[in-house]
Structure 1
Amino acid sequence: MSTDTSTSKTSSSTERKSNNDCACVQYGFSDEKGPHREPKLRTIFDPIPEGAKTASPIYKLPSEQYERQDEFETGYEIKGGSSIAKEIQDECEEDDRVLCPVHIESDAYHDVGPKTLISWFQEFVDDYLEVPFNTCTLYFSGNRSIHVHVPRFVSGEDDREGLKELAESFCEEAGADLDLGLYSRKRLFRLPGVEHAKSGMPKVEIESTWNHNRIFREANGSNPTTYSSYADVLWDVYVQEPLTFETPIPSRNRPRSLFQVLNPKKTLLEFAHDESGSEIETPLIEQVAYPENPADVPEWSMYNTQEFSPYALASGNPRSVAAVRVKGGPFARRDKRGGATMVPAYFYGAIGCNGGFTKQDVHAPLQLSKKDYRKWDYEVGEKIVIIGGKSGSSRIFSVSSWEATVVGHALMSDEGGRDTALNYLSKQGYNVGASGSTGSNSNGTTTSTSGEFSRETGTIWPARENWNTDVEGLQWKAEQDGIGTLSHKERVRVACRHLQNGWQATWEWFEEQFGPTFKPEITWQFLKGIVEDFEEYNHVDVPPKPA
C-alpha cells in the first residue's frame, strides 16, 4: 500500500463558511525510513489519507492561515528545512489555539497485565480527572499497551501542562506507569483500526472487564472499525448524551456538526492556576444554586445532592450495599436528615435496602448513623464498601480500587445485583455476614436454606417461590416452567450465578433441567465460554470436553 502524503488544497468550504476557524490535524505515517509527519495540515472533516497511522491534537486555524498552505507545493519550502505544518502549529501554540483530546496510555501491559492497567486508568480518570470511567472508550494498541480515549479536551498550553503535571502526580502517588510523553506538544496518537508495525495486530476496541486471552482473541480475530475522517473518530468518543446540547442530533452527515452538537462547558477539562483576586466568594460547597461551571459539579454534588442512606426503608428488606471513594471529612447540615452525619463520596455503585434507590458513577453525600460515625476511621481517597441495614451498625471494609470497581459494577449491572456483590466480597475474604434469609454457620461460611449457594457442599438449592433477586426468579421460572422458557441471555445470567459455586454443581443443575434433551457438548461449550470470558470465574476448573 502506498503512503499518500499529499494534501488536498480544497478544504471543506462548508466548514469555512459556517465557522471562521478550521479545525485541523496533522497525520503521521510510517514506512521503511521510519515515522514521519505530513508537511501540511488537513481539516478533521477531510478523509483520513491512505497509510496514515497517527493524528495530532486539533489546531484552530483562521481561513487565511489554513489557505496559506496552498502557497507551498510540498509544504517543506520553509526556511530552515521545517514544514508549513510545524510553523502553523507553533503559531497556534503561541496563541492558545490548540485543542488536545485527552488520551491515556501505558506500555506496561506485558509487565503488569491488563487488570492492573485498567485499575490505574480508572483511578486516574475517576479520582484525578473526575470523569466517569465508564464514559471512556478503551482500545488494545495491537502490541504492548492499552489506550484510553477520554471524552474530554484540554485547551491551550497552560491546561496541557496542567494535565501533564496531574498525570505525573498520579504516577508518583499511585506507583503507576503512564506514558507522560503523551502530554507533550504536537504529540501524535495512533488511530483506531490501524495495524501495529511490529505485531501486525490492529488497534481494537475492548471492554474493561476482558482478560488477556479475550483481548488477544479479539485483536487476532476481529475486523476492526476504521474511520473515514478524524471527525468520525471524535464523534464516536465524545457524542454521548451528558456532553451534548439538548438539541436533536442530525442523522445525516453527523460528524460535520460535531462542534455544534458538543457542549464545550461539559467537554473541556480546566485546571486551577495561581491567580490572585480581591473578591471573596461563597465557598462552592455552601452555594445553594447548581454550579454554572461543569467542572464544579462533582465537588458541589457530594455536599448538596440527595444523600445515600444505608439504613432507609430497611424494615423487612435486605441490607443495602454501597461501594464508594471517600472524598472529604464528615459534615452535617440541618436540612439533611435533621443534621445527621454525612461524608462526601464518589459512588461506584449503591443499592438501598428496598432496592429502589440506587447511585452509580456520581458524587453525593453518604449518610452515617451514630453507631457508624463512632467507628469511622477512613481517610480521603480510601475506597470502602458499606453494608447497612436496620440496626444502624454497618459492616464497613476498606477495599482496593479494583474491588470497589467490581462491587460497583456487580451492583448495577443487569446480570449482577446485591447477591453477586456480596458473593464476590466473600470470595475476596471479607466477612459480609448474614443477608436476608442467608445465615452464617459456626465457621462463618455463608449458607442458605434455598435459592443460594453452600460453599461447603457445592449444592445449588432450588429457588424460592418468593425469590429475592431477578436471577433467582429466572431460576424459579426454569425449575417450574422448564428451561426452554428462558432466553439464551437469561440462561447466561443463571449460569453466571451458579458458576460461583463451581463447575460440577452448575453442570448438574443444567443436566437436571434439560432432562432427556440434555446435550453435554453444547452445555460444556456454553459454560466454558462464560468461564473464559470473565475473570471472576478464574477459580473454576474447566474439565475435558465430554466424548
Structure 2
Amino acid sequence: MYLLTPEEYERQDEFESGYEVSGTSFIGKELQDGCEDDDRVLYPIHIESDAYHEESAQTLIEWFREFTDDWLGVPFHECSLYFSGNRSIHVHLPRFVNGEEQRERLKGRAETFCEETGAELDVGLYHRKRLFRLPSVTHESSTLPKVQIEPEWEHDRIISEAASVSTELPASYAEVLRDVFVHRGGVTTPTAQSPTVEPHAEIHPNLDLDAAVLELECDEREIETPSIERVDEYPDDPADVPEWSMYNTQEFSPYAHASGNPRSVAVIRVKGGAFAREEKRGGATMIPAYFYGAVGCNGEFTKQDVHAPLQLSKKDYRKWDYEHGEKVVLIGGKSGSSRIFSVSSWEATEFGHALTSDEGGRDTALDYLSEQGYNVGASGSTVARSKGTTALRSATPNEEPRTIWPARENPQTTAEALQRKAEQDGIGTLIHNERIRVACRHLQYGWQPTWEWFEEQYGSAFKPEVTWRFLKGIVEDPDFAEYDHVDIPPKPT
C-alpha cells in the first residue's frame, strides 16, 4: 500500500493509463519510488514456501506456525492460509510493516529463521515491489486457482478443493485486505473512521491501523568484546583461571549435534554480560558462565563444575534477560529456541547433581525440574512420559476419568452450540476457527477427554498426528494461558 500525498494522487489521476509521463516508463514506479524514499509504504506480511511438493503440507504448516507465533508474535490462528494453485502454500498475516527499514528487518528475520531451523521460506518475497498472487487467480502452469485451505488439510483435500471450488476474482486488492485483516484477523476498533480523515479506512471503517502495524526490533544487539577475550595465554596465577576460562575455553553449544538426538540440558550461574569472539563461531553470542553441569544433545560433550562460555542462538539471545549471579537452566535443541528458566541456588545445585551424577542423567534432572513446578516441555524426559500425567490432569477428585458430555439441545454458549452442530451435522461442518472454539471449551477438562471427543467425531477419518498438532497449537499459544496446566503427550507415530 503506497500512501500518496494529495498532490501525487491528483497527478496520477490525470492520466488514463499512467504511461504518458515524459522521461519515465510508468508513473506508478515513479510514485512507488517516492513513497519508498519517504517511508510511506505499508507492506502486508505474507509468507510463502515453494517446498510443498518436496515436503508434506503439515511440515510447511509447522514452519509457518513457528515463524508467526515465535518469531513475529502474530497468532497463527489469526492468519489466512492458501494453496497457490501449483507448488506453494501462502500465508496472509493480518499485519503490515511500515517502511523500508521494517521491510528489511522482516526479510532478515525470515533469513535467520530459515538458517536456524532448516525451514524453506521464500525470503525473496520481502524485496521491494515484489509481486504476489492474489486469491482466486489461476496458476498458468496447473490451471488451478489460489484457494483458501485449512491447516489440518492433507494433500488430497487441498487439490480437491482447488479443482472443485468456484471462485470469483476479488474486485480490488482492498477487498483482499479487508478479508484478511478484518473478517478473519479481527484487527478492528469499535469506532468507525472516515476515509477522508484516515485513508486506511477505505479498506474498512473499523480497521485498527495501530494494531495492524507490526514493529520489529533490530535482531542485532550490540555485543562488546571484553578485553579479556583477547588474552590467549593461560594465566600464571591460578586465581585468574576462572575468569580467563569463561571467555577463552571451549564453549558449550545447546544446539550442536541436535539432529536425531535428545535435547541438551545445562545449568549455569551467569558471570557477566554477553560477548562475541572474533573470528570464532561466526561471532556468535556467548555468555560467561559457571557450569554446575551440562550435557550436549549427543550426550558426549559435557561440562561439570567449570567456568566456560555458553553459546546462544539469535532466538535465545533475543529473549535473554538474566543478570550477573542468576542461576539459569537452559533446555536446547535443533530449533535454536530453548526453554530457559531462572532457578534458585538450591535448585541449581540439585539439578546439576541430578544431571551429572553416576546414577543420574538428563531424564533424572528433567524429572527433578518438573517436580519443582517448571514446564520442561512436551518432549521432556522419557521417564516423565511414562508417568501418564495427562491422565492425572484429566481425572476427577475421585480419580475417575472426566467425560465430555454431548451438548445440550438448548446450548448456553456459542462454543456449546458449535459442539452440538458438530455432533448433529458432522464436524466437517465447522470451519477451523469454530473447531478451535470447541477445543478450547473441552481442554478445560484436559488433553485426553478432548482428544477422545475429536476422535469420536471424526470416526474412521480421524488423523492422530493432525489432531495432536491442532491441540498442541492451542495449548502452547500464549493467548490461551488458561491451558498452561494441560500436559501435551508425545507426538503419535
- TM-score by length of structure 1 reads 0.47
Match of 1:527 among 452, 459, 464: 459
Which residue does 2:422 correspond to in 1?
489
1:35-72: CA deviations, max 9, x gaps?
A: xxxxxxxxxxxxxxxxxxxxxxx111122212222443
Q: Does structure 2 conserve the Cα–Cα contact (< 8 Å) formed by 1:60 and 1:92? A: yes
Deviation at 1:532, TM superposition (A): 9.5
Alignment counterpart, residue 386 of structure 2, candidates 417, 423, 433: 433
Q: Which residue of 1 aligns with 2:40?
A: 97
Is the 8 Å Cα contact of residues 231 and 255 (structure 1) preserved in structure 2?
no
Match of 1:230 among 168, 173, 177: 173
Distance (whole Å) between structure 2 residues aligned to residue 498 and residue 208 of structure 1: 22
Conservation of the 8 A alpha-carbon contact between 1:387 and 1:395? no
Q: What is the rounded CA distance, in whole Å, between the counterparts of 1:265 and 1:437 in structure 2?
A: 37
Q: Distance in 1 between matches of 2:407 and 2:463?
A: 23
Cα separation, 2, equivalents of 1:242 and 1:387: 41
Question: How much does 1:172 deviate?
Answer: 1.9
Q: Is the 8 A contact 1:232 1:255 kept in 2?
A: no
Measured after TM superposition, the shift of residue 271 of structure 1 is: 3.8
* 1:420-447 C-alpha deviation (Å, 9 max, x unpaired): xxxxx99xx78523346959xxxxxxxx
Q: How does 1:261-340 map to 2 (within 5 A)?
A: 261-264=207-210, 266-272=212-218, 328=319
Q: Does 1:199 align with 2:117?
A: no
Residue of structure 2 aligned with 1:165, choices 84, 108, 122: 108
Residues in 2 aligned to 1:241 and 1:95: alpha-carbon distance in whole angstroms = 28
Distance in 1 between the 2:347 and 2:75 partners?
28
> Pairwise mapping of residues 407-418 of structure 1 onto structure 2 (< 5 A)?
none
Distance change in 2, residues 1:464/1:206 (3 Å):
farther
Partner SS state of residue 142, structure 2:
coil
Conservation of the 8 A alpha-carbon contact between 1:388 and 1:395: no
**Distance of 2:390 and 2:66 partners within structure 1:** 36
Aligned length: 323
> Deviation at 1:123?
2.2
Which SS does the other structure have where 1:139 is aligned?
A: strand
Alpha-carbon displacement from aligned partner over 1:214-262 (angstroms, at most 9, x marks no partner): 2222222333465333222112222378743353699xxx963637631
Give distance in 2, aligned partners of 1:214 and 1:131.
Answer: 26
Matched with 1:153 is 96
Aligned AA for 1:530? F
- Check if 1:218 corresponds to 2:150: no
- Root-mean-square deviation (CA), in Å? 5.1
Whether 1:187 and 2:130 are equivalent positions in the alignment is yes
Kindly state the Cα deviation for residue 101 of structure 1 after the two structures are TM-superposed.
0.7
- Note if contact 2:178-2:203 (Cα within 8 Å) is conserved in structure 1: no
Deviating more after overlay: 197-206 vs 66-75 = 66-75
Match of 2:300 in 1: none
- Residues 99 and 154 of structure 1 are in contact (CA less than 8 Å); yes or no, is this contact kept in structure 2? yes
Distance 1:113 1:87, change over 3 A: same
**Deviation at 1:107?**
0.8
CA contact (8 A) 1:140 1:204 kept: yes
Distance 2:174 2:70 in 1: 29
CA contact 2:78–2:185 (8 Å) conserved in 1: no
Which has a greater percent of helix? 2
Contact 2:94 2:212 in 1 (8 A): no
Alignment counterpart, residue 188 of structure 2, candidates 226, 234, 244: 244
Segments of structure 1 that go 5 or more residues without pairing to the other structure are 1-57, 277-324, 333-339, 346-363, 379-385, 400-424, 440-447, 453-462, 478-485, 511-522, 541-547
In structure 1, what is the equivalent of residue 430 of structure 2? Answer: none
Select the residue among 459, 462, 474 that pairs with 2:405: 474
Which secondary structure does the structure 2 equivalent of 1:97 belong to?
A: coil
Aligned counterparts of 1:73 and 1:214: Cα–Cα separation in 2: 44
Task: Give the CA deviation at 1:176.
Answer: 2.1
Paired residues of 1:143 and 1:198 also in contact (CA < 8 A): yes
Question: 1:247–1:261: 8 Å Cα contact kept in structure 2?
Answer: no
The structure-2 alpha-carbon separation of the partners of 1:433 and 1:224, relative to structure 1 and needing over 3 Å to count, comes to farther
In structure 2, C-alpha distance between the alignment counterparts of 1:343 and 1:91, rounded to whole Å:
50
**Could you tell me how far apart the structure 2 residues matched to 1:70 and 1:83 are?**
13
Distance in 2, Cα, partners of 1:433 & 1:530: 24
* Offset, 1:171: 1.9
Amino acid in structure 2 at the alignment position of 1:244: T
Identity fraction in percent: 38
Residue in structure 1 matching 2:372, options 392, 410, 417: 392
